Amino acid sequence: MLGKLEEEVLLAALQAGDGALPSEIYARMEAASAPARKVVAFGAVYTTLGRMAAKGLLTEKNRADGANRIRRTFTVSALGSRALAESMNRIRALGGFALAGAAHG
């Protein structure tokens, strides 16, 4: 079962695409959050990415950037996609999406 932050990180990583940098994933999370809402810290997201890669929810690869620095990139694994789908299904079964639609509408 995924935590709330893990869910958000997986969704942002899916949006960012394959081989996304932590800063790209974080930027997507920041952009998606409401202006008044406190955004989760980058340090927490970075640590979560590492933990999720260790669990197998994300696959981690290293690549060198323009400045010859080794950058960690993350891609959502099959296990991560399944876990996310299960989590979304659970939310849908409990009427979470309908509630979100009602709140916005």
Partner 1 sequence: MASDRGGGTSQSCSGPSTGLVPSWAEDPNPADPDPILPANLDRAIVGQGDVTEAGALDGLARLKHLSQKEALDSKAILLVLLAVAVVRASRKSRSTAAYRPSFILDMLVPYDRAQDMHANLAELYPVWVSRHGARRAEWIHRTQVALLIGGTWWEKLLSTGERLLKVARLIGS
For the bound state, the minimum distance from the C-beta of residue 54 to partner 1, rounded and expressed in Å, comes to 7
Q: Does 88 bind partner 1 (CB under 8 A)?
A: no
65, two tokens: 């950037």
55, two tokens: 């669990």
For the bound state, the minimum distance from the C-beta of residue 98 to partner 1, rounded and expressed in Å, comes to 33
- Which positions from 4 through 33 interact with partner 1, judged by CB under 8 A? 21-23, 26-27, 30
Q: Does 38 bind partner 1 (CB under 8 A)?
A: no
For partner 1, the binding residues (CB under 8 A) are 21-23, 26-27, 30, 41-44, 46-47, 50-51, 54, 62, 65, 67, 69-72
